Structure 1
Amino acid sequence: MPLPELPHYPDVVSLIPNSGVQFLDFGFSLIDGEGKKNAKAPADWGFYDPHPDTRVSAQELPILLRRGAEEMTPGREDYAIDTKRLLQFVERTWLPIPLFREEPGRSFHQGPVNWARAYLVRLGERDKGGNEFRLVVALDTGLMDEYADSGYLAPSSDDARNGRRFSLPGKTDFYNFLLNQPWLRDWLNELFKTMVEQEESRRANRREVVLSPEEILDRMSGPNEPLARYVAFIDLLNQLDFLPKLLFSDTVTAAKQVFVDVDMVLDLGNSRTCGLLVEAEPDSRGADINRAFRLELRDLSRPEQIYVDPFDSRFEFAIARFGLNHHSHRSGRADAFSWATIVRVGPEAVRMAGSRRGSEGRTGMSSPKRYLWDEEPSQQSWRFNGQTLDDEWEGFAAQGVFAGLVNDAGKPLHAVTAGEDDLPTLLARYSRSNLVSFALAEILLQALVMINAPAQRLRRRNADLPRRLRRLILTMPTALSLAERELLRSKAEAARDLLYLCLGRAERQFGDEPGKLEWIEGPPPEIILKWDEASATQVVYLYSQIALAFSGDARAFIRAVRGNGPADAQGHGSEDGDSLRVATLDIGGGTTDLVITALRADGKGSNVTIFPKQLFRESFSLAGDDIVQMLAREVAVSALSRTIQQSIGRERAEALVQELFGGNRGDMTAEEQLRRQQFAMQIAAPVAVALLGEYEGYDPINPPAVETRVLGDFFRPDAPPPPGLVTSLERAVTEAGASGFRLMDVPIPVDLTEVDRIVRSLVGDMVRALTEVVWHYRVDVMLLSGRPSRFPAIKDSIMETGALPAHRVIAMHEFRVGQWYPFRNREARISDPKTTAAVGGMICLLAEGHLHNFNFRSDDLYARSVARFVGKVEANNSNNRLQAQDVYLADLDFETIEDLPDAKFEFRGPLLLGVRQFPNQWWPASLLYMIDFADEEARTRAMRRTPLRVQLKLESTKRPRVKPNEPPEKVVNDRLAIGEVEDCDGGVLSGRQQPLRMRLQTLRNRDGYWLDTGILIDV
């Protein structure tokens, strides 16, 4: 379980005003590991709870008479609440807690009443500190002035200015007034009702039991038992005595507004995402890479968990709930504990995806970045994932402040232009491209909360100062088209703008210019897209070697790497001994990238500047997720098919497997589509990933013996596949005629030699082709990065070409990087090569004047288009080959051309356009565009006039915004558009008569990637 390390809080903890929902983590035990009871924790609490006919007043409260053996108040005890009954009531639910303002004389003010909540969890196994429980305290840091008619609901600006403290009252007398507030009483009564109904449901073995108010009252020990359990919970927290006092740092006084700037680098991948942050002290101009720290994601539905490693890029629509908000609203604070975004990312999203039923509609996807190209509004509405306490599935994902700032396509309202939809969304038909902004906004919000979290600030200097994001640096796939780069930039800017509007840090300005915002609390984070992932990996290697191993002497490093033997024989033409050529093969989840860079050292001794020049870059869409898909099909699905064959024969079994895991059918239900998708994501893919994990240690010279395991062995006992999915698949197989079928008992062969063969068959040709390029450029050293680079077949395929000797091929997961690396393992090595892009991006940011012993001109690594040949890619060609006869535009150089050559090609029906870098037709092309009829009316009107003759043009592109007083950057544009269209008779079709439409499309299947569709069998 990914539990956060428990901080050692001081007696008084400072909070940053308006820093969102902040969390404090605590651990404790009622019984220690040796079976001894915690002396601070009472065994039970005794209460007097007068019945209505004996009450003095209509709202009389239960009176705490006894705490364990300690008598509190004389009186007749009606019932006792022991720890078992208490935990049954408070576990895994958010409860308001009274953290009130302290007054002189150990007294407390009446409030604030709705700004603090607690969440208690019993751990499955004790944490490293031996704790059996975790308590998470959530604090809404929004300030709110106190008014006579609304009460004291939240800390105020005056509280922050005067340094007033807040803590938990030790006596019930100080918070009895809170127990009388209807919103809290109803909250506790509803929790009690839910608890009792769940007990009855378990006893009756029924899905749902609904009890009447009279039946609920009959099950109470007294008329106010929910209040009594709540009082016992607050008293337990008091007796354990670990909650610190709280106060707010004064950021509301203008003269005291000093901030610590924070930069964040994000490697937003198709499969996984990695984030890194670094602070710049107020009294320094730069940041220290040695103080960089990982991005943390708080799981909002299991708030005791935090994720610090690279996380799954999946996202799901979900409303963050911090308790029973419908009761909280009645307190008078409608926006209490409002989480600004409406999606969850990472492991939380993966878990949510497994809980879907199918009938609720689409709730998320594997990675929005895969669909950056798709700007079309969705045909179906997006819906929230998750169940309310009433077991009702959520509706359209169009609730909350965030949704009110975008239109139905998901475009920010402040950025719409004339003629576009300028109304807030109702149907949530967000384009998949705009969902990149939704996911980025959630990641940004998690980062903003994290950098101002008390636990994080206590580890840093200037712990009481507020933090703000200064820059967001996004790394990119190496050969991402310039058109897609500008799209990614615009989505990142939209994410920032929408989030800051939600947080009240920006306001919309109405005028002639769309996209204009006024920033309330200083400048917003600058969005930087400069460096690709493979180049960033090179910088990690160079920094570790030059700055640390060679103390800044880049010339000595270059001489050591090139040597006097074979490396000199690779001479680089006119380049002297102060140059080096480095290649990086970065294999990620979605793309495989190759970059070759020439490095030149200028200067003497350790006072040297390194000038990089990229000689070659290329990306292919064949990568790690494709390996997972093939293994899922060849191992998991094949094993399932063989098992079914034993009951119903081969022909019927193959037909059933095709029906379950093949493409869409006209009669396929939503539940069947979900079952297929969940099987791929929740069962087949985990089996493939587990096999690949074992394959990373495979030795082809001494291969392990083949063994057989059952499917259930691939899952931890505490994390099995969704039971509903297992039951549904078993029912489908049984209905097809198989008897006694148990999915978790399906035998799976663990044959690592076969895994090696499968990996080689899929990526071997690609790796060899890229290695040939490496040989052509006479590279001195080659780096391997990305998680799939750990597979033996990758390095072995490179070695078999003879392009480089073994000692010049460096796998980054084996590279000893040093103690400075934020994601190092205990041996100071890079345990996960995925992290090198984010860390390298941070070094690129700091390398120009901020790092000791390392001056690197990262500004020379600017984006270049690799599209040289444009033409039609065959729709059934899975290798994306662009044949010579299908090339429409050749020898392009988007760095220099002002317009495209005057060349036309025939259009007879929908076609995919791809681009490639070399004239060789065997070199793989990359899909980039789809040309089709604009609509059915245009199709009907124009088909009689085909073949149409189409001429392409360069689409006009706005220059990106630049800082004041800076010269505008040169904008290289490689986005194509339809220029002129002629019919078969030579007539020009223009204006409304022009029937075609051209759009970006980088996936062959417009319906989606296999992780989203679940299609494992392509035939």
Structure 2
Amino acid sequence: MALNELLKFDKVVPLIPRTGVQFLDFGFSLDKQSPAPKEWGFFDPRTTLNNEKIPPCVRRGDEETRGVESYAVDVKSIVQMFDRVWVPVPFLRRESQGFFRGPTNWARAYLAKLDEPDADGNAYRLVIAVDTALIDFIESEAYLAPSPMDARTGREFALPSHKDSIDWYYSETWVKDWCLELFKEMLEAEEKRRRQFNFRPLSNDEIHDQMQGSNEHVARYRAFVDLLFSLDIVPSFKLVDRVSEPRTPPIDVDLVLDLGNSRSCGLLIESDPEQLGVDITKAVTLQLRDLSRAEQVYSDPFPSRFEFARAQFGRDHLSIRSGRAEAFGWPTVVRVGVEAARLAARRSGTEGASGLSSPKRYLWDEDARADSWRFNSASGSQEQSGFATGVAFTTLVNDQGEPLHRIDKHLLDLDPDKGFPAIRALYSRRNLTAFALAEIFVQAISMMNSPMLRLRRPANSELPRRLRRIILTMPTAMPLAERHILTQQAESACDLAYLSLGLAHMVYNDDGTSRMAYTLEGRTHADKDDTGPEVILQWDEATATQAVYLYSQVALNHSGDARTFFDTVRHPANRHDPQASSRLRLATIDLGGGTTDLVVTSVAVEGSGANVTLIPEQEFREGFNLAGDDALLRVVREHVVEPIKRKLRDLGLGERADSALYHLIGGDRGDMKAIELVRRQQFATQIAAPIALGLLQEYETYDPLQPVESFTRKFTDFFNADSMPTADLLAYVNAELAKQGVRDFRIQDIEFEINPVEIDLTIRSVFSEMLQALGEVVQRYRCDVLILSGRTSRLPAVRQILEESGAIPSHRIVSLHQFRVGRWYPFRDYRATVGDPKTTAAVGAMICLLGNGQLQNFNFRSNELRPKSTARYFGKLDQSNRLLKADEFYTDLDLDNPDYNLPENPFEFRGPMPLGFRQLEVDWWPATRLYSIDYANPESARKLNPKTPLRVTISRAGKKLVNKLTGEEYMDNPGLAIYRIEDRGGTRVPNDQLRLRLQTISQSQGYWLDTGILLGS
């Protein structure tokens, strides 16, 4: 279980106003040594349910009873009612004679009884959430949240003790009704457990019959509040004065994010106003708070999956009745990472589409969805079944997910509907990248302003933090068009996060133009309200990995003396080459989940001794859309599906086992129901992929020199309590296969053979050809060191293929997961090694960022690294994604040159076809899919097909612009567009009759992790 580290807070904790919802974590146990009472006695006669009487506490623990005791409430009763639910708690303003009547609706508590004690022996976790918004105090109105005056005067807010008279608070109708609903749900959960299929909701009379008193729900709540106070772990709060002028500027923080196709990770780097350089050891890993299991916080690399789910901190319909409609309004509309993966696994299957395995896979897809995105049904509320709209974030985008403030005015004139907020939630898959990034940015802003993080820097603990720069890594050979789109999506996400948090607003000018205006906490220049965080997309993942290696070796192991290190590791063949003798040539093969990339970089040294500057120059870069997820799919087919198929054959299906499985996990059929589509996808993500990952984890320890015998593992061995497939899914799979004629089949009974030799052959069949090609490049460039990075590089076959190729001696291959980095590395394992090579891209990007003069013993001119296009030959791809010589349409492309345009050489169009590119002249070199060209609609196909072949000319879509700061020329849109179409007779055809669109994967309906199609594709 991923629990947050606990911090011993001071008696008064400062909170930064207007930083969204802030969380504080506490742990405790209720053993004999605990100072808290274990039982409370109440006077609560049975009259009418939920009447206006507040049951007084007549006994606490072993104290003498101070009146008639109707019943007792013990700790078990409290936990039974409040375990893993949000409930308001009275953090009231201290006065000289006790407490003021409020604020009443700005703090919530979440209690979690742990399945097993945490590392400190705590049996329980408590999360206090605080809404840090300020509301002007008006004497005649309810005091619901701290006011600007409270912040200005430094007033304290605390939990009252049992001696303080706050019956007025317990009498608040919305508070009592909140408790009553929790009590009812507690009873109904027990009733449902006992009755199962015969369950029906309880009436108020039935609830009253099961109560010990008419207000037992309030009594339990009073006991809960007293328990929190008696534990003596919850501090008081005060709001930092960010109201009075002048205000000290916030502390700048940089966010580095590696957004991957399968997994992502991030870092926060805080600047020190008193220090010019940066202490790299103080970088912290980005944490994502699980908003539906608030005690869980994830700081390891997280799944890139997202799900539409409204974050709820309890009962919004009751909170509104307090008079505060926007309390605890988490602004974004998607959950990301482990929480999203869990929600996806718990989908009912009837709600429609609610998420994706990774938005980054679909940067090419700009089309509006045919049916609406829906809230995930497992996210905890009956209200979640509707369209994915209705939060602050979705009022800032239209139905396609485009930010309203970024839509061109001319487009609005053509289509006014584009200017309206989302109603039907038809968001394009491309724009969902901004949705996921915005959630990550909101979590980062909350985390960097959290008390736990600020209080680790005592000198600046009362200063807010603001994002200065957002640095995203990218695949090495990411096409220019996708790179441009990713930059746009990141900038949009940043805008939307700031607008929805209230850190910025739109200013509309008289001429119809508009601009973003940032608050002091949001802007990056105190005197310019239009300057927000800078989004930087400059360093690729493989290059960033090289920065980790260089920093460890040069700055730490050789104290900055780069020449000594270079001389030590230089390849013998390069020592007598004048051009190579003063440089180090590094190659990196980065195998991720979605792409495999190669970079060859030559690093020169300027200066002498330990006072040097490293100047990198990229000599070669390449990337392919063949990586870890492709290996995973092959393992699924050959080592997960095959054992199931054999079992079906043994149970009597014979040759019909193939068709039975194809019916379950094969391609789409015309008669498929929505529930079948969802269950197929859930089979892939809940059953097939986890088992395949378990097989690969066993295989990672395989050594061909020390062969081991195969062994079997049971189905349940591949899962823990949290990851076990749902009972509904297992029942569905067994029932569907029973319909195909198999008897006594239970997928839970299958045992899976783990044969490392066979798995090794499977992995080799995926990667051998590609890695041998990349190895040839490494050999031709006479690289001194080859670095293997990315999670997939842990598979033994990867290194073995490269060793067998003879591209470079074995001792010159560095597998980063075994590379000792030292204690500075934020994601280090217990041996101070990298452990998970996924993390090197984010850490390396941090080094590239700080290496320009902010790190001791390491001056690295990363600004010299400019990502260049790898598209040199462009044309039609065959079914194997090869670009043959005969199908080349354009050669010697130079898309990095803004003055370059494609030659006006038309190519023939006879029907829909994929278009792509390769870098090298030889046509055996793997190509990359980039576009598809097709008829615009069925009517165009009907009219134009008899006139084929059409002659199509394409050109660059953008125009040349000049960067005002640097003077550098660039294309505002690096994509391609149709320039001219003629039919076979030479007659012009309107350009809109064909459609040239980005499409970087062959299956337009989606990736296998999103569709669940495991067979037949």
- Alignment of 1:298 with 2:289, yes or no, is yes
* 1:822–1:955 distance in 2 versus 1, CA, 3 Å: same
* 1:134–1:400 distance in 2 versus 1, CA, 3 Å: same
Q: 2:39 aligns with which of 44, 51, 65?
A: 44
Alignment-mate amino acid for residue 848 of structure 1: N
- Alignment of 1:643 with 2:635, yes or no, is no
Alignment partner, residue 842 of structure 1: 846
CA displacement at 1:944 relative to structure 2 = 2.6
* 1:617–1:904 distance in 2 versus 1, CA, 3 Å: same
Q: Secondary structure at the match of 1:341?
A: coil
Tell me the distance in 2 between the aligned counterparts of 1:643 and 1:38.
Answer: 56
Superposed, which structure 2 residues align to 1:235-250 within 5 Å?
Answer: 235-250=226-241
Alignment partner, residue 527 of structure 2: none
CA displacement at 1:50 relative to structure 2 = 4.0
* 1:448–1:826 distance in 2 versus 1, CA, 3 Å: same
Tell me the distance in 2 between the aligned counterparts of 1:316 and 1:958.
Answer: 38
CA displacement at 1:288 relative to structure 2 = 2.4
Moved more, 44-53 or 832-841: 44-53
Tell me the distance in 2 between the aligned counterparts of 1:717 and 1:409.
Answer: 38
Q: Secondary structure at the match of 1:979?
A: strand
Alignment partner, residue 465 of structure 1: 463
Alignment partner, residue 528 of structure 2: none
Alignment partner, residue 615 of structure 1: 619
CA displacement at 1:10 relative to structure 2 = 1.2
Alignment partner, residue 896 of structure 2: 895
On the 8 A contact 2:960/2:970 being kept in 1, the answer is: no
Q: 1:348 aligns with which of 339, 343, 360?
A: 339
CA displacement at 1:199 relative to structure 2 = 1.6
Alignment-mate amino acid for residue 192 of structure 1: F
Tell me the distance in 2 between the aligned counterparts of 1:343 and 1:123.
Answer: 26
On the 8 A contact 2:310/2:384 being kept in 1, the answer is: no
Alignment-mate amino acid for residue 914 of structure 1: G
CA displacement at 1:701 relative to structure 2 = 1.4
CA displacement at 1:507 relative to structure 2 = 1.4
On the 8 A contact 1:475/1:531 being kept in 2, the answer is: yes
Tell me the distance in 2 between the aligned counterparts of 1:392 and 1:493.
Answer: 31
- Alignment of 1:740 with 2:744, yes or no, is yes
Alignment partner, residue 676 of structure 1: 680
Alignment partner, residue 769 of structure 1: 773
Q: 1:755 aligns with which of 755, 759, 766?
A: 759
Tell me the distance in 2 between the aligned counterparts of 1:58 and 1:705.
Answer: 71
Unaligned runs of 5+ in 1: 32-36
- Alignment of 1:190 with 2:181, yes or no, is yes
* 1:850–1:42 distance in 2 versus 1, CA, 3 Å: same
Tell me the distance in 1 between the aligned counterparts of 2:34 and 2:597.
Answer: 60
- Alignment of 1:953 with 2:950, yes or no, is no
Tell me the distance in 2 between the aligned counterparts of 1:958 and 1:326.
Answer: 53
Q: Secondary structure at the match of 1:713?
A: helix
Q: Secondary structure at the match of 1:600?
A: strand
* 1:663–1:172 distance in 2 versus 1, CA, 3 Å: farther
On the 8 A contact 2:309/2:379 being kept in 1, the answer is: no
CA displacement at 1:508 relative to structure 2 = 1.7
Tell me the distance in 1 between the aligned counterparts of 2:820 and 2:480.
Answer: 35
Alignment partner, residue 529 of structure 2: none
Tell me the TM-score normalized by structure 1: 0.96
- Alignment of 1:94 with 2:86, yes or no, is yes
Q: 1:103 aligns with which of 78, 87, 95?
A: 95
Alignment partner, residue 806 of structure 2: 802
Instruction: Note the alpha carbon deviations across 1:686-732, whole angstroms, 9 max, x for none.
Output: 11111111111101111211112221221124531111100100111
Instruction: Note the alpha carbon deviations across 1:374-409, whole angstroms, 9 max, x for none.
Output: 111111210001357675652100111111110010
* 1:965–1:766 distance in 2 versus 1, CA, 3 Å: closer
Superposed, which structure 2 residues align to 1:449-598 within 5 Å?
Answer: 449-461=446-458, 462-511=460-509, 516-521=515-520, 522-523=523-524, 524-562=532-570, 565-568=572-575, 571=577, 574-575=578-579, 577-598=581-602
CA displacement at 1:68 relative to structure 2 = 1.5
RMSD across aligned positions (CA) = 1.8
CA displacement at 1:39 relative to structure 2 = 4.1
Tell me the distance in 1 between the aligned counterparts of 2:382 and 2:399.
Answer: 27
Alignment-mate amino acid for residue 922 of structure 2: N
On the 8 A contact 1:361/1:383 being kept in 2, the answer is: yes
Superposed, which structure 2 residues align to 1:822-861 within 5 Å?
Answer: 822-861=826-865
Moved more, 113-122 or 143-152: 143-152
Q: Secondary structure at the match of 1:169?
A: coil
Tell me the distance in 2 between the aligned counterparts of 1:286 and 1:17.
Answer: 29
On the 8 A contact 1:387/1:394 being kept in 2, the answer is: no
Q: Secondary structure at the match of 1:400?
A: coil
Tell me the distance in 2 between the aligned counterparts of 1:945 and 1:734.
Answer: 52
Superposed, which structure 2 residues align to 1:666-705 within 5 Å?
Answer: 666-705=670-709
Moved more, 503-512 or 551-560: 503-512
CA displacement at 1:148 relative to structure 2 = 3.0
Tell me the distance in 1 between the aligned counterparts of 2:713 and 2:445.
Answer: 45
Q: 2:910 aligns with which of 900, 908, 918?
A: 908
Tell me the distance in 1 between the aligned counterparts of 2:701 and 2:856.
Answer: 37
Alignment partner, residue 917 of structure 1: 919
Alignment-mate amino acid for residue 312 of structure 2: R
Alignment partner, residue 998 of structure 2: 1000
- Alignment of 1:62 with 2:55, yes or no, is yes
- Alignment of 1:16 with 2:16, yes or no, is yes
Q: Secondary structure at the match of 1:689?
A: helix
CA displacement at 1:240 relative to structure 2 = 1.1
Q: 1:941 aligns with which of 923, 943, 967?
A: 943
Alignment-mate amino acid for residue 228 of structure 1: A
Tell me the distance in 2 between the aligned counterparts of 1:933 and 1:514.
Answer: 36
Alignment-mate amino acid for residue 345 of structure 1: V
Alignment-mate amino acid for residue 22 of structure 2: Q
Q: Secondary structure at the match of 1:24?
A: strand
Tell me the distance in 2 between the aligned counterparts of 1:757 and 1:568.
Answer: 38
Tell me the distance in 1 between the aligned counterparts of 2:380 and 2:332.
Answer: 21
Alignment-mate amino acid for residue 939 of structure 1: A
On the 8 A contact 2:364/2:482 being kept in 1, the answer is: yes
On the 8 A contact 1:278/1:291 being kept in 2, the answer is: yes
Alignment-mate amino acid for residue 406 of structure 2: A
CA displacement at 1:941 relative to structure 2 = 2.5
Tell me the distance in 2 between the aligned counterparts of 1:609 and 1:677.
Answer: 51
Instruction: Note the alpha carbon deviations across 1:433-473, whole angstroms, 9 max, x for none.
Output: 00000000000011001001111112224122111111000
Tell me the distance in 2 between the aligned counterparts of 1:278 and 1:517.
Answer: 25
CA displacement at 1:743 relative to structure 2 = 0.9
Tell me the TM-score normalized by structure 2: 0.96
Instruction: Note the alpha carbon deviations across 1:406-439, whole angstroms, 9 max, x for none.
Output: 0010000111122341111111000000000000
Tell me the distance in 2 between the aligned counterparts of 1:615 and 1:388.
Answer: 49
Q: 1:709 aligns with which of 690, 702, 713?
A: 713
Tell me the distance in 1 between the aligned counterparts of 2:997 and 2:740.
Answer: 43
On the 8 A contact 2:653/2:741 being kept in 1, the answer is: no
Superposed, which structure 2 residues align to 1:78-477 within 5 Å?
Answer: 78-105=70-97, 107-171=98-162, 173-206=164-197, 208-387=199-378, 391=382, 393-417=384-408, 418=411, 419-420=414-415, 421-461=418-458, 462-477=460-475
On the 8 A contact 2:484/2:974 being kept in 1, the answer is: no
Alignment-mate amino acid for residue 7 of structure 1: L
Q: Secondary structure at the match of 1:370?
A: helix
Alignment partner, residue 34 of structure 1: none
On the 8 A contact 1:360/1:383 being kept in 2, the answer is: yes
On the 8 A contact 2:958/2:972 being kept in 1, the answer is: no
Tell me the distance in 2 between the aligned counterparts of 1:708 and 1:576.
Answer: 52
Alignment-mate amino acid for residue 519 of structure 2: I
Alignment partner, residue 1012 of structure 1: 1010
* 1:868–1:472 distance in 2 versus 1, CA, 3 Å: same
Alignment-mate amino acid for residue 996 of structure 2: M
Q: Secondary structure at the match of 1:997?
A: strand
* 1:672–1:765 distance in 2 versus 1, CA, 3 Å: same
Instruction: Note the alpha carbon deviations across 1:63-103, whole angstroms, 9 max, x for none.
Output: 1100122136x321111112222211111111100111111
On the 8 A contact 2:92/2:157 being kept in 1, the answer is: yes
